[in-house]
Amino acid sequence: MDAFYASVELLRYPQLKGLPVVIGGSRRAPDDELLARHAGLPLHEIPVAEFPLLRDYVGRGVITTATYAARQFGVGSAMGLMKAARLCPQAILLPVDFAEYRRFSKAFKDVILSIAPVMENRGVDEVYIDFTEVPGGQREGGRVLARLIQKSIFEATGLTCSVGVAPNKLLAKMASEFNKPNGISIVQPEDLQTLIWPLACRKLNGIGPKADAKLKGLGIETLGQLAAQSLPWLVQHFGKSYGAWLHAAAWGRDDKPVVTQSEPVSMSRETTFDRDLHAVRDRQELGAIFTDLCERLAEDLQRKGYMGRTVGIKLRYDDFRIATRDHTLALPVDDAAALRQAAGQCLKRVPLTRRLRLLGVRVGALVRTREWVAAAGDPLARELLLRPAPQTSEQDADPYTASLF
């Protein structure tokens, strides 16, 4: 989806169309006051001059999305709001409204599912779609189906998206970036040299800041240069697994399927404080936040129907270093008191001399509550639920190898 959060906001506030708008700020909503002052007035009639400006924002936080008009000024996702305010002080700042974005997320995904049922979620604003078996999915290299999806989403939601069509997910993801916003791009295997190899390594989904810096240090700037390296050389510098992946990816090879169903692995809640807090001096405040995080996490678990037995905490110190601790319980839990109890034990095992800027609570090793309750009286069934399904290896299927061992 194109500038998803910002585009959803523009549906509510069409008077902001064409203006630099940024969404962000984790703190108190900057426009609460605005909405209160104009209670009763339809949202689209609130005068532009009434909206809060980025220059007036005081506090922490980053931009989650910027309109294309705002991007002209050099502001973009993940940039600190204070820095963005210097680049584009006149930008309008709106708070994030996840509930609203989730609504539109479901709406556009429902449209896609009605057309092409093999869809993989990639977060709130992105999906992979398998065109292979969709009627007409091969016409004009996929362009016809891509256009149909764009048109259907726009009619249902008023939102635009960009589509990349390619033989695999890796190339499709890159293709989707070629023609933003509201564009379609088709990449065939024979386009590797002309369309992919000139790109910076960082454009590849899976090469982040660290790997990119290391590649640069080795004199590798583009995907073409990466593709020119031998497999053993890459393995030597990046390890067996990542090295092999880098090699395959640079050659446009990716055989990962479109996964339509998946179980959550963990759930968490975390918060960055308005100011750094000290475990002793700000004990009360920290304790209240801690309890609140556990309560919200418990709500999440119960609403989604999961329990978990690995409970953990995450701290971010004032110097931005991160510490985590976790603890696995004998039985899964989903209530705030149990989470708070277990997380509290974790807190005792972590250094607390430095001031903290973030506290988080996490729960993993999830089981579906319904299945756990159903196995209530059966210790064996419970035991099986707590152990993840064993990985079936190639060796198991090979009678010769199996007999040897």
Partner DNA sequence: TCTGGGGTCCTAGGACCC
Angle at 264 between CA 261 and CA 269, to 5 degrees: 145
Angle at 50 between CA 10 and CA 67, to 5 degrees: 30
3-state per-residue secondary structure call for 305-340: CEEEEEEEEEEEECCCCEEEEEEEEEEEECCHHHHH
Among residue numbers 256 through 295, which ones bind DNA (CB under 7 A)? 264-272
Number of other CB atoms surrounding residue 262 within 10 Å: 8
Among 237, 253, 327, 355, binds DNA (CB under 7 A): 327
| Selected range binding DNA among 41-49, 226-234, 236-244, 284-292, rule: CB under 7 A | 236-244
Q: Give, for 81, the enclosing helix (H) or strand (E).
A: helix 81-87
Q: 249, 206 in Cβ contact below 8 A? A: yes
Q: How many residues bind DNA (CB under 7 A)?
A: 63
Q: Is 118 in the site for DNA (CB under 7 A)?
A: no
Nearest to 246 by CA among 218, 215, 216: 215
Among residue numbers 339 through 398, which ones bind DNA (CB under 7 A)? 346, 349, 357-358, 360, 365, 387-388, 390-391
Among 325, 354, 368, 382, binds DNA (CB under 7 A): 325
Numbered residues of the known binding site = 125
Q: Is 64 in the site for DNA (CB under 7 A)?
A: yes
Q: Give, for 127, the enclosing helix (H) or strand (E).
A: strand 127-129
Structure tokens at 196: 């992919």
Residue 126 annotated in active site: yes
Numbered residues of the known binding site for Mg(2+) = 125
Q: 310, 363 in Cβ contact below 8 A? A: yes
| Selected range binding DNA among 72-80, 157-165, 180-188, 229-237, rule: CB under 7 A | 72-80
Q: Is 326 in the site for DNA (CB under 7 A)?
A: yes
Minimum CB separation from DNA for residue 108, in Å?
Answer: 12
Minimum CB separation from DNA for residue 50, in Å?
Answer: 25
Check 120, 126, 177, 221 and give the catalytic one. Answer: 126
Task: Give the interface with DNA as residue ranges (CB under 7 A).
Answer: 26, 60-62, 64, 77-83, 86, 122-126, 173, 204-212, 239-242, 264-272, 300, 310, 312, 320-328, 346, 349, 357-358, 360, 365, 387-388, 390-391
